[in-house]
Structures are given as structure tokens and as C-alpha cells.
Amino acid sequence: MISSNAFDYMNVLNKAASASWEREQLISNNIANADTPGYKRRDLDFESTLESELGKSKYVSLDDKVANIHMDHLNAKTYIDNASYSYRLDGNNVDPEQENVELASETIRYLGLTNSISQEISRYKTVIK
């Protein structure tokens, strides 16, 4: 990652896109294991991590909040969803329909993030010219 304040948004977007990509992989794995007895769905929650980091500075602008984020704290953890009760006798708690909706939503999020990264790069190119 680049350590200049000029690239703070780019660094956050990069972390968010990486987390989104990882979540897509987890959801795809959940779908693939929908028929595996005893399998518990896995997920990733980057939004709470980002919200927590941004919320540490309450009365400052978003620019200042992003500038003060510690990038090494923006690592979302994968978790096993044991709270989601299984409605199946084999103990599997994957609902394929819900996972497909989550996958579509995450794909849209990832495309939006990569588009934002592309726009940031275009802005940098314009400034350099």
C-alpha cells in the first residue's frame, strides 16, 4: 500500500474490494457445500470493521477519518455462522436461495468498488497530465 495521504481513499477502497472478493469466495463455497452434512456457513463482515474504524473520530470530516484509519486494523475476519439454526436434520445451515441472493449482492458491491478504484486512478492520471 502507498503511504501518502493522497492515496488514503484508494487504500480503503483496496481493502474493501479485497474483503468483498474474499466474501464472494466464501459464499460460493457455502453454495458448493449446501448438501454437505454438518456444514456450517462461513461469512465475512468487513462493514463492521470499517464502521468501527471510522467511528473512532466522531466530530471530524470523512476526509480526516479516512486519513486517520490504521490500515492494519481493516482486516475483516472470517467467521463460522453457528447462530443460524439449521432447519435440516443433517445439521447443515446453508440456505442456497439466501446464499445466491448474498452472492448477487456482493458481486454488485465488488463491481462498484472496482469501478470506484478505476475512477480514482483516472483522477490521478488527470492530475499527472
pLDDT of residue 1 exceeding 70, the answer is no
Per-residue pLDDT tens over the stretch 90-121: 889 999 999 999 999 999 999 999 999 999 89
- CA 17-72-60 angle, to 5 degrees, is 85
**Residue 51 and residue 6: Cα distance in Å, rounded?**
21
Residue 57: per-residue pLDDT: 67
Over pLDDT 90: what percentage of the chain?
48
Select from 62, 35, 42 the least CA-distant residue to 51: 62
> Domain limits at 13?
5-128
The pLDDT of residue 29 is 97
- What integer is the mean pLDDT of 57-76? 75
Cα 42 from chain centre: 13
Q: How many domains does the chain divide into? A: 1
Per-residue model confidence (pLDDT) at position 75 = 85
d(Cα 8, Cα 14) in Å, to the nearest integer?
10
Among 8-22, 49-63, 88-102, the least confident range: 49-63
CA 29-30-32 angle, to 5 degrees, is 60
